[in-house]
Chain A
Amino acid sequence: MPEITLGDLSLGNCVLSERVTHLRDVYFESMPEICGERPRLITRFSKNHGFFNGQPISILNKAKMYRRVLEEREAIVSHTRGVGRDMRPFPFEDRQLFAGSTTSKLKGVPLYPEFLALTLWPELWTMSRRESNPFYITEDDVKTLNFDVFPHWLENNILELGRKRYYEQNLQKYGRKKYDPEIKLMQRLVFFLASKPECISHTIPDFSKAVKLGLRAVIDEAREKEATAPDPARKEFYAAVREVLEGIIGYSRNLAAEAERLASLENDSGRKQELLDIAVVHRQVPEFPARSFREALTTVWICWTAVHLENPNIGLSLGRLDQILYDNYRRDIDQGRLTVADAIELICCLWLKIGDHVPAVPEASEQLFGGTGSNQAITLGGVDRDGNDAVNDLTYVMLRATELMKLRDPNLNARYYSGVNSQEYLRRLCEVNLETGATPALHNDRAVIKALTSKGETMEQARDYGVIGCVEPGSNGRFYGHTAAILLNLTSVLELALFNGRHRHTGMDLLISKETGDPRTFTSFEQFIGALEEQIRWIADHSTDLNNFFGKIHQDFYPTPILSSLFEGPMEKGRDLIDGGAAVNSSAATISGLADVADSLSAIEKVVFDDKVVSFEELLEALERNFEGYEALQALLINPEKTPKYGNEDPKADANVRRLVETLDRVFGEKENYRGGKYRVGYWTMTNHAGFGRLMQAMPNGRKARENFTSGITPVSGVTPSLTKALNSVALQPASCLASGVALNLKYTPEQDREKMLENFADTVEGYFDDDGGRSDGGMEIQFNIVTHKTLVDAVGNPDPKMLVRVSGYTAYFKDLNPQMQKEIIDRTEYLLSTGKMVTFEPFPLPTKR
């Protein structure tokens, strides 16, 4: 167990250095810029090597391509320009301590034409002027993409390759009439999104070998394994590993050479020395073991850029950095080569580097994903593999850096094991939340470990979990679990049950799924539940089929030698991650609208079947009319004192939630994925619950058309007046059904008596995490916005570009969110901790349709 040697855990004396202050200012001033480098190099190599002939692409060919790109891409030690909010470039002096970059831009948008980058094609000329989250692009890059890149990928991106094969297969099987049920279903948008056409990503690499042994040692290991491998496929895998690792080493050497070149031109002796220091670091790592804290951070950083060269920047996560880097930190501190202030500066510089790229969101996707960063989660604290307290000095150093920087990326997640981790640590986590208003998210080790072991992870693997993307737990460096494989809109499944297999959004004359009965003829609530469960099974069948299908397309066209070389499992098995190389494999669905569907069930149960206030026919009529002329019925349905709502300890309402999470876990859990793993289910919704909300009509829980759905596993906004009741209801849900993570989103009003608030904050988290003597599993996760309603309302018209908010689960800048999502955060249930009561306010007006 590491000894805590810091006197002040808050590290209040450490502030932003001059260097970091400047870099941070530039970061906030600069707009994202499309980078043409990767697409250009990838396209050229793919063309030259005949990748566009429709045949599967071998891992070795892919590896050769990545090596070439790594060696040929521009080695940038310091940026010289950014792009301002006025969309004009500005020069600046970059004195970053870390060299290298994810793209060739200061804040770049990397493009992956193998996936969905083509969706940006129509807006190449206009994206720099679009209203929400515009991207800068140079005329040269427009031309390159327009003429040299995109045309080649039109037929060869993953979606298109999949679509072609899918049509061919199904045409033979079903004939012309019904040849594309799943893809068409996805294209209807309201049911589910399968994200394989966009990426797999969503995982945590294993940096520990790279840091401790260096990549040269991994290359040597691969060479030995290659020599003794029993079959050509494995030989090829190890050869591919060697190729890509040589490429990463080559990139780092290029950075060293560039730093030396810049040093030779530099007149300022201070900067000259900095550049020479950078060169020394890059001559050592990541090829050889890291000798210092700074070298260890550099290894992580360079490997991180390489992972992003291969895998789209969506949810790739860094894992337990306070564990992986601790030995190097401790050694440097003990030997007097590093001060805590130096360490904080290094971490701040790394945090900025990690945020040097944003995902390419086309305008059409702004409704569902607007304002997202790359969601690069970092995990702190918790217990180690043996169950001992893993919180160390570096944990506090990283917390302080996060508190000072208040950045969207990296997305900070803190683990807490009650009774093992100290209360001072929990208190500090709460304090950073008060300071930043939005981070870190808090994870309950006891419940998460229980959830993971219930899915087959060993106790050691489960204890060593890191958080992926938003909130998804997975064993650090050994879990390949595409946690965002299926984004399922559960409210649409309810819709199918309400309208006998049809959906109001797609038209009542179109049978979407199967007829499970007209609820107007149902005589019991159980009958309706039965219909809903049948619709759930139907959607699970189709969404997992589609995911598995695209998984196979990945296996044929998108081998991942870089990620596989930095992972536990593939080296041992001689197999790529996409083929099941990881030590732990799974896929997952994440569910939108849990609380809305559960409350709708409770409303139907109470109002239609128990109290018989209205018939099912009248209820459907009211929904059809969006409650116009049915105001009293709507008032009854939304009133938690009259109609049971999840989050109030109402046994029936909570049982309906439990029934849903158990059904979803059972139905998805039976499904096998294409990598020899099973499906898991999570409840974190990013900004989808707002996006899906816009498309959906009125619901039986009294929600009107186009209103937001509720985020994650959170009870519906505004219907849970008591804090502990809400927390207890959430904590009642069984952890084993929530293995792909949950986001519980609450707002707390900032209070004047900070000390008292902190104490209550920590005590309340403890109470929520507690398993109450085994009566529940305890809540799994909780995350906060600590901000008043008024501050948010004011920010709609007059946004502070630096205002950080917690979405579900990642952090975002409030101003980047679309109006519907801004409204969702404004309307979220807010509690005053000192009374435990909900703060009441009028719902924010629904944004008008554009």
Chain B
Amino acid sequence: MDIKRHSLEDGPGIRTVVFFKGCPLRCVFCHSPETQDCGREIAFYPGRCIRCGQCAAACPRGAIELELAGRIHRERCLRCGACAEACPAGGLRLLGSSYEVEQLAEILLRDRAFFRHSGGGVTLSGGECTLFPEYLEALLKILRKEGVHVVLETSGYFDYSLFRRKLLPYLDLIYFDVKIGDPGLHRQYCGKSNARIYRNLKALLGEGAAGVHPRVPLVPGITATPENLAAIVDLLCRAGAGDITLLPYNPLGLGMATHLGRPKPPLPERFMTPGEERMIKEMVLKIIGDKSYGCQN
């Protein structure tokens, strides 16, 4: 997992965000591709490489070639991390640290003064953090005891009864991603059907659980199309959702695919303009207006 401190984008106030590694979905537009696989991964940052060659010497598989653009013959790589260990400059880095629950809690509590003054807290994100219910439950109990506000970000693809029993009692807010309305397209772009996601959302809302916020990541040409937005609004209506948050597209995850030696996804390399954001928002408002459905953004 990875920890991001002083985040202002993942819930109210100043927050520490934990990105768990591992996700049941494989969205082609994934914003943090390093969190899909639950194993360790090696990333290569050519700008930091000083070409000392210590990585090649350390690799037990001969998978490193200094002249190779991506540096690593990934098909041979065991992800043992010997190269990253040997690299002095941070050109090769091992992604994915593991922490004992108490150890992680201690780190998360370091910023409690910042949480308190800003109304912030901890955000559990991913990947799909609900893949680790036992671990999360233990962590959440500590955070609850310390009075820390907790947000959970999810793809919605989880085992409902486990979620309800182990996690739900400890959460202040749930940011619930709804990416694609049509089940077939969802399977095409995300690797799995959205049936379970829909059921989970509906069930969660049916519990009367406070603070469930459906969010739609806007990806030009994929999720941010009139058809998909209409399908999502329809889905949310059926699930009984009361609001919707649109997340404007950002291209910051694109670089990571390259660092991991994966093909770059065919997505725009620029942020959405405020004009584009406004247009999409109006579009959604219009769809909602037609359906007389409450909306927030």
Contact = CB atoms under 8 A, between A and B. Distances in A.
Interface of A: 631-633, 635-636, 639, 641-642, 649, 722-725, 728, 756, 759-760, 763-764, 766-768, 770, 772, 778, 833-837
A629 to B, nearest CB: 12
Contact of A766 (B6, B9, B50, B113): B113
Contacts of A632: 50, 52, 54, 88-89
A760 B88 contact: no
A763 B111 contact: no
A722 B110 CA distance: 13
B197 interface: no
B93 interface: yes
Contacts of B54: 632
Interface string B157-198: 000000000000000000000000000000000000000000
A770 B52 CA distance: 44
Contacts of B13: 763
Contacts of A834: 8-9
A763 B118 contact: yes
Contact of A836 (B7, B89, B90, B116): B7
B293 interface: no
Nearest to B16: A724
A728 B117 contact: no
Contacts of A778: 113
A635 B50 CA distance: 8
Q: Which 4 A-B pairs have the closest CB atoms?
A: A836-B6, A767-B114, A770-B113, A636-B88
A835 B88 contact: no
A764 B14 contact: yes
Contacts of B9: 834-835
A620 B116 CA distance: 47
A635 B52 contact: yes
B89 A722 contact: no
A639 B8 contact: no
B74 to A, nearest CB: 22
Q: Could you say which of B6, B8, B117, B120 has the most chain A C-beta atoms within 10 Å of its C-beta?
A: B6
A641 B54 CA distance: 17
Nearest to A721: B5
Interface string B118-157: 1010000000000000000000000000000000000000
B113 A641 contact: no
Interface in B73-96: 88-90, 93
Nearest to B117: A766
Contact of A760 (B50, B112, B116, B118): B118
Contact of A770 (B4, B7, B116): B116
B114 A764 contact: yes
Contact of B14 (A639, A722, A767, A772): A767
A202 B70 CA distance: 58
A837 B89 CA distance: 20
29 contacts: A632-B54, A632-B89, A635-B50, A635-B89, A635-B90, A642-B90, A649-B110, A724-B114, A760-B8, A763-B114, A763-B118, A764-B114, A764-B118, A766-B114, A767-B14, A767-B111, A767-B113, A767-B115, A767-B118, A768-B113, A770-B113, A770-B116, A772-B113, A833-B8, A834-B8, A834-B9, A835-B7, A836-B5, A836-B14
A756 to B, nearest CB: 8
A835 B115 CA distance: 15
B50 A763 contact: no
Contact of B110 (A728, A759, A764): A728
Contact of B6 (A631, A635, A723, A759): A723
A760 B14 contact: yes
Given A760-B118, A766-B113, A835-B8, 10 more contacts: A632-B50, A632-B88, A632-B89, A635-B90, A636-B88, A723-B6, A763-B117, A767-B114, A767-B115, A834-B9
B215 to A, nearest CB: 19
A725 B111 CA distance: 8
Interface of B: 4-9, 13-14, 50, 52, 54, 88-90, 93, 110-118, 120
- Main secondary structure, interface of A, reads helix
Nearest to A831: B6
A770 B113 CA distance: 6
A480 B258 CA distance: 61
Q: Could you say which of A722, A767, A833 has the most chain B C-beta atoms within 10 Å of its C-beta?
A: A767
A635 B114 contact: no
A835 B8 CA distance: 6
Nearest to A756: B8
Contacts of B112: 772
A232 B49 CA distance: 76
A572 B14 CA distance: 52
A764 B6 contact: yes
Nearest to B110: A728
Contacts of A642: 88, 90
A836 B7 CA distance: 6
B88 A633 contact: yes
B73 to A, nearest CB: 23
A413 to B, nearest CB: 22
A232 B120 CA distance: 66
A158 B182 CA distance: 87
Nearest to B6: A836
Contacts of B5: 722-725, 836
A780 to B, nearest CB: 15
B89 A639 contact: yes
Contacts of A837: 6
A770 B112 CA distance: 10
Contact of A639 (B52, B90, B117, B118): B90
Nearest to A757: B8
Given A632-B88, A836-B6, A836-B14, A641 B93 contact: yes
A724 B90 CA distance: 22
B111 A724 contact: yes
A725 to B, nearest CB: 6
B52 to A, nearest CB: 4
Nearest to A731: B113
Contact of B50 (A631, A722, A770): A631
A835 B6 contact: yes
A770 B109 CA distance: 14
A82 to B, nearest CB: 47
Contacts of A756: 8
B117 A767 contact: yes
B121 to A, nearest CB: 13
A837 B88 CA distance: 22
A723 B15 CA distance: 12
Nearest to A765: B117
A833 B14 CA distance: 10
B92 to A, nearest CB: 11
A607 B28 CA distance: 42
Contacts of A763: 13-14, 114, 117-118, 120
A636 B88 CA distance: 4
Given A724-B5, A763-B14, A835-B6, A641 B117 contact: no
A767 B6 CA distance: 11
A633 B54 CA distance: 11
Nearest to A778: B113
Nearest to A727: B114
B187 to A, nearest CB: 34
A833 B6 CA distance: 8
Q: Could you say which of B4, B5, B7, B54 has the most chain A C-beta atoms within 10 Å of its C-beta?
A: B5
B117 A770 contact: yes
Contacts of A725: 5, 110
A143 B54 CA distance: 68
A366 B218 CA distance: 56
A635 B117 CA distance: 38
Contacts of B116: 767, 770
A632 B86 CA distance: 10
